[in-house]
Amino acid sequence: MREVIRIGTRQSALALWQAEYVAERLRTLYPMCRVELVHHTTIGDRILEKPLAEIGGKGLFTEELEASMRSGDVDIAVHSLKDMPTELPDGLILGAITAREVPCDVLVSPKYKTLDQLPQGAKVGTSSLRRQAQLLHQRPDLTICMLRGNVQTRLRKLDEEGFDAIVLAQAGLKRLGLEDKITQVFTVDELIPAVGQGALAIECRSDDEEMLRLLEPLNDETTMWCTRGERSFLRQLDGGCQVPMGVHGTVRKGQLTLKGIMCSLDGKTCYEGEMSGPQKSAEILGRNLAKALYEEGGKSIIEDLVQKGVL
């Protein structure tokens, strides 16, 4: 067996926590092996003054790491699954998907207790079109303002830039020990999460059979089926991490239920639906749910996004 496993990671506190989490699990499984982190920056980390949707492309947080895997500088890369494009470049695959942490989005507000209690026209920070659209659907009066940067940066901007509230993923705050900042946890029905939110993806070269075998124990089967369905939904709609769509899967007794939403940017029009079936049909289920929402009216939303240059 190899003596060293090199893990490529971004350098935000959250990325480092996630890479270290995987490193620790590998060290426990394979004590003879040295597990090292190799730091990278990505386009998504470097350009902070624009919304992701405006920078464009679907692998803003993954491409540099993928180049390092190709060249053999690192063996695996750890990502938030949410940030992964639905199609991976040739030669790379997801070797494992770890058990999902809480999938929810949360409101962080120093002054108000819930979304309902925010004053008319309150300034809410998020750069996710999915969050923007679903928030506006419930509260059309809100002023949504761009908020980019890693979790700590966003919390700092909440104070410095006069937001009444910001919306983040619960998983990120939990991992960083910042749960005490949370004001309100949205249920997955109130604010449908992003594809793969809360799960970690471990990417590796598809021809690295030994590494794939080593990663197997880190894979969580239930999370894998749920996120396979979620990713299939997004793939069918050709979305990256920057589209006003959400989808969340749950598994009970081998049955996968997917709940999805497609919204117009202003949140006025939302198409929402649910579909269930055997977990092993995750891909088909995701595709069928996407097609159903598309037929119901999502088609005009996509056309509008293409026209606005978002897709």
Write down the least CB distance from residue 127 to ligand PBG, Å: 9
Write down the least CB distance from residue 71 to ligand PBG, Å: 25
Identify the burial level of 274 via C-beta atoms within 10 angstroms of its C-beta, where 0-12 means exposed, 13-18 middle and 19 or more buried. exposed
Q: Which is nearer to ligand PBG, 142 or 169 (CB)?
A: 169
Q: Which contiguous run of DSSP H or E holds residue 303?
A: helix 299-307
Q: Does 10 bind ligand PBG (CB under 6 A)?
A: no
Q: Does 198 bind ligand PBG (CB under 6 A)?
A: yes
Query: Is 83 among the catalytic positions?
Result: yes
d(CA 5, CA 1): 10
Q: Which is nearer to ligand PBG, 196 or 298 (CB)?
A: 196
Q: Which is nearer to ligand PBG, 205 or 259 (CB)?
A: 259
CB 21 within 8 A of CB 200: yes
Of the listed 45, 73, 83, 189, which one is catalytic?
83
Q: Which DSSP letter does residue 164 get? A: S
CB atoms closer than 10 angstroms to residue 306:
11
Q: Does 80 bind ligand PBG (CB under 6 A)?
A: yes
Q: Does 168 bind ligand PBG (CB under 6 A)?
A: yes
Which of these ranges, 79-87, 137-145, 207-215, 221-229, lies near ligand PBG under the rule CB under 6 A? 79-87
CB 301 within 8 A of CB 279: no
Write down the least CB distance from residue 197 to ligand PBG, Å: 4
Q: Does 148 bind ligand PBG (CB under 6 A)?
A: no
Q: Which of 251, 254, 236, 240 is nearest to 298 (CA)?
A: 236
Contacts of 218 (CB under 8 A, 6+ apart): 22, 25, 26, 96, 98, 202
Binding residues for ligand PBG restricted to 229-248, rule: CB under 6 A? none
Q: Which contiguous run of DSSP H or E holds residue 276?
A: strand 270-278
Q: Does 151 bind ligand PBG (CB under 6 A)?
A: yes
Q: Does 82 bind ligand PBG (CB under 6 A)?
A: yes
Instruction: Please list the active-site residues.
Output: 83
Residues that bind ligand PBG (CB under 6 A): 80, 82-83, 151, 168-169, 171-172, 197-198
